[in-house]
Amino acid sequence: MRVPIVVIAWALMPAIVATTARADVREETIQFRKGESRATVKGTIKGDQTADYKLRASAGQTLTVDFKPNSRSAYFNVLPPGGEQALFVGATSGNRYVGTLPADGLYTIRVYLMRSAARRNEIARYTLDVGVTGATRDTDTAQATRAVAGPSGPFDQTLELQGIRFRVVSANEGSINTLRIVPSGLEIVNRPIEQEIDGTVTAAEVADINADGSPEIYVYVTSAGSGSYGSLVAYAANRRKSLSQIYLPPLADNKTASQGYMGHDEFAIVEGTLVQRFPLYRDGDPNNRPTGGTRQLQYKLVPGEAGWILKLDRTVDY
């Protein structure tokens, strides 16, 4: 049975409720359509005007914002619930934000013009693509449970599914780290697994995407540097007895799927598949300003000769 295509959902025309807080700030609330987790909005600011887009989300979810202005003087920031200390400053970090949210509440995506452009009373038109992915605290965790790294420091989380637990530990110090996975509840072998990783652990998920009654552990690693290249370390429980490694073929081996790829990956378990998502770069694009859209790769888990393989099933560009 083929798995139906799953796209981290987006909406072309979200419902927006607009209010005015004060003369120079326009506040709008982004509300996703039912069943959607992505929205695209368009707007205009002039001079010293500011547009604040409010979005409710939960701790542990991933917020993605792609900002496409027609002016190089227009930027956006991301502010946490109840605070003015920005999680992201576009003037120094570019026009794309992907981050794990630290708390429940109402987040603000603030669009503004640089002071010199505001003084000239310039006008900027823009498009915001906003998405929120990942389970909320109220979501049924029978399919997958996700743990995310904090703002900094070591990663040490224990995830459990179907009576089998995985403790995932990484010091997250420097560019090279040691990943340690300690299973428990397996019938025969519960020996810890250690391996060197290039980067830091940003999240981990336990799931049973092939629905065989034995869970898998997926650990997501992000490399140091401006590219923030993603990689995967994953293991599957064999009939609940021991672990076998899950192999994800290098993206570079697929010339079609890797065209336009320059890092900034996101991984997530979505409705029984592993999804890898990244921005697309055209020739000449700087690292902080991709212009080619987004590609989503959908993998299914299949048995291999000496373990398990994540086989590319669908590719979607949007």
Specify the range with the lowest mean pLDDT, choosing from 6-20, 44-58, 181-195: 6-20
pLDDT score for 119: 93
Three-state DSSP at 118 gives helix
Average pLDDT over every residue of 294-311: 91
pTM for this predicted structure: 0.58
Helix and strand numbers, DSSP H then E, in the chain: 3, 23
Neighbours of 262 (CB within 10 A): 18
172: left (phi over 0), alpha (psi -120 to 50) or beta: left
State the average pLDDT for the chain: 86
DSSP class of 222: E
pLDDT score for 19: 39
The whole-angstrom separation of Cα 310 and Cα 204 is 16
The whole-angstrom separation of Cα 149 and Cα 266 is 14
Write the pLDDT tens digit of every residue in 118-162. 999 999 999 999 999 875 443 333 346 788 877 768 999 999 988
Write the pLDDT tens digit of every residue in 26-83. 999 998 887 778 899 999 999 999 999 999 888 778 899 999 999 999 999 999 988 7
- The architecture of the domain spanning 15-133 is Sandwich (2.60)
Is 3 a residue whose pLDDT tops 60?
A: no
pLDDT score for 216: 95
Neighbours of 137 (CB within 10 A): 10
Average pLDDT over every residue of 211-231: 91
207 vs 135, residue with greater confidence: 207
pLDDT score for 21: 39
The whole-angstrom separation of Cα 296 and Cα 167 is 29
Query: Do residues 213 and 220 make contact, with C-beta atoms less than 8 angstroms apart?
Result: no
pLDDT score for 144: 62
Write the pLDDT tens digit of every residue in 261-279. 999 999 998 878 899 999 9
Diameter of the chain by CA atoms? 71
